[in-house]
Structure 1
Amino acid sequence: MIRAHSLTKRFTTGKGQSKNAVDGIDFVVEPGRVTGFLGPNGAGKSTTMRMILGLDAPTSGTVSVNGHRYAASPAPLREIGALLDAHAIHPGRSARDHLRWMAASNGIPTTRVGEVLELVGLEPVAGQRAGRFSLGMGQRLGIAAAMLGDPPVVVLDEPVNGLDPEGIRWVRTFARQLADEGRTVFISSHLMSEMALMADHLLVIGRGRILADCSMTEFMSDHAASYVRVKAPALADAAAVLGGRGLEVSRHDDEIRVVGLDAPSVGELLFEHRLAVHELTLVRSSLEDAFMGLTADSVEYHAIAPSEGVAR
């Protein structure tokens, strides 16, 4: 379990002004589920993860792993496995030797090195220098290092970065397996489509503050727009019936979109008026849409929209 209480990190800018990268946040990452950590660039995600691992000291507040500071653990790799930067390895060292010295530093049997290399699919290239690895291979080595101590808590930052479709699916399945084993799984990613498939719970941060801390189901219910798509021969009549009941109805080409009633109820209402229906579908916006809507006011770095600039 990871627990943060009033966690704050303040930095001094180049102009001598102070800024809260993380602003008094409270959260608990529970075992037995995959918790997704989301936020725009500059929201405070990386700073929060670095404070969990003791790489940055909080200005105030506390963060603990399994009831104590992570830095106080005599064998950190057995406590928490982390992947923050897959390239934080010596390029001249082989994958096997990289893991061997990590194992030796935490009293982990060398037999575990072969196990994690096989786990991530790098056993055939274990003798190669890590500097020759592709981005995806480096990610796999980083995950192997995170799992070296068979830790009860796993923290992964952008774990699917650079992976091919097979590797992305493997990470998704692996994260689910770790949670099913009762481990605490905390994953940060910008790939919303993958997070939608992977996470049970979401922690969303913006400008250093928690914007949402709830299950995926609750998040989508609270922040994802939805409507019922209706296609019918007498579309104008259907719109009139539904609008007459006080529902929000809009016309879009060969369909109408209805807000304020679920699909079965819309169908029953039209049936009562003897109106034929060709399609009745509940359409819900994606996790990406819901996330963008929630964090719109928290984005610090805005690119120019394609229609606003000219590529040269």
Structure 2
Amino acid sequence: MIVANALTKTYGPTRAVDSIDFAVEPGRVTGFLGPNGAGKSTTMRMILGLDRPTSGSVTVAGRRYHDLPAPLREVGALIDAHAIHPGRTARDHLRWMAASNGIPMKRVDEVLGLVGLESVADNRAGRFSLGMGQRLGIAAALIGDPPVVVLDEPVNGLDPEGIRWVRGLMQRLAAEGRTVFVSSHLMSEMAVTAEHLLVVGRGQILADCSMADFISDHAASYVRIKAPERGRLAELLRREHCEVSIDGDELHVQGRSAAQIGDLAGSAGLHLHELTLVRSSLEDAFMTLTADSVEYHATVGATS
């Protein structure tokens, strides 16, 4: 388990992380989301002892990372997959990591096989593609068979097969009872991987809840309708206490199911050309919640 208490990090006048409390529990994949500049990377670095908190604390299995006698056996991490000497082979990179924490050398071949790098294990890391580098970084995170795994953008550079493999790996690690904490900007992938979400913005916790609760709380489903007599239908639905908005040639309706809307339209003799339930997504919920926490906003359609 990872536990933070009043965790704070300041850089001059800037509070990158602002007195946050959270617990990442074992047995599930916890997604860590937030806009750029939200404090995600700083929080992960403090978990791993790479940055010192200004105040507060964060522990892994009840101890600070610096106090762990063999940290790779307690927590595995992928923060920067390129933090590898380019002249060192994949096998040698993992060997020195294993030796530094008293991990048996047979584990090197085990993790190389796990991530699919057996055939290039004796190639220099500097010649690896982005995806191969990611796989080596994941192998390094798992070298100590740790009960806690922290991954920052683990699918960056991977092809669809690799992304699917990482998803299955994280879910399998969680099913084994491990603590899995993963940060990603790929909302579609996080939506099918994580069970729990921790969302930050401007250094503060915005949400700490299950995936299902997060989506239902921050993005509403609606019924999309196309109809030749759009105005009459909108009036009818509003009289039935529905929330109706117009988007181009569509009506977006909340307050009734698609079946109920179809029945209402039919009873009024109104034809429908489309009647579709649009379910809310993780991306919709995330954008709604973090709209005020985005550091930079682009202007659509702006030209120089």
**TM-score, reference length from structure 2:** 0.93
Residues 188-199 of structure 1 mapped to structure 2, 5 A cutoff: 188-199=183-194
Superposition RMSD on alpha carbons, in Å? 1.9
Letter in 1 for 2:299: A
Structure 1 residue 294: deviation in Å?
A: 1.4
| Residue 65 (structure 1) aligned to one of 60, 66, 91 | 60
Matched, 1:248 2:243: yes
Matched, 1:117 2:118: no
Letter in 2 for 1:7: L
1:296 corresponds in structure 2 to 291
2:11 corresponds in structure 1 to 11
SS in 2 for 1:307: coil
SS in 1 for 2:301: helix
**TM-score, reference length from structure 1:** 0.91
**What are the Cα deviations for residues 224-278 of structure 1, in whole angstroms up to 9, with x where unaligned?**
1321123456655533321211212234565432122333443444455565656
Q: What percentage of aligned pairs have identical amino acids?
A: 72
Which moves more between the two structures, 59-68 or 122-131? 59-68
| Residue 122 (structure 2) aligned to one of 124, 127, 130 | 127
1:105 corresponds in structure 2 to 100
| Residue 221 (structure 2) aligned to one of 223, 226, 232 | 226
SS in 2 for 1:146: helix
SS in 2 for 1:10: strand
Find the aligned partners of 1:153 and 1:267 in 2 and give their Cα distance. Answer: 50
Find the aligned partners of 1:188 and 1:216 in 2 and give their Cα distance. Answer: 14
Structure 1 residue 281: deviation in Å?
A: 2.2
Structure 1 residue 284: deviation in Å?
A: 2.9
Which moves more between the two structures, 207-216 or 258-267? 258-267
2:299 corresponds in structure 1 to 305
1:201 corresponds in structure 2 to 196
The answer for unaligned runs of 5 or more in structure 2 is: none
Which moves more between the two structures, 154-163 or 232-241? 232-241
Letter in 1 for 2:86: P
| Residue 163 (structure 2) aligned to one of 156, 165, 168 | 168
2:148 corresponds in structure 1 to 153
Which moves more between the two structures, 90-99 or 271-280? 271-280
Residues 69-108 of structure 1 mapped to structure 2, 5 A cutoff: 69-108=64-103
**What are the Cα deviations for residues 15-59 of structure 1, in whole angstroms up to 9, with x where unaligned?**
xxx221100000111111111111111111111001101111111
Residues 173-184 of structure 1 mapped to structure 2, 5 A cutoff: 173-184=168-179
The answer for unaligned runs of 5 or more in structure 1 is: 13-17
SS in 2 for 1:198: coil
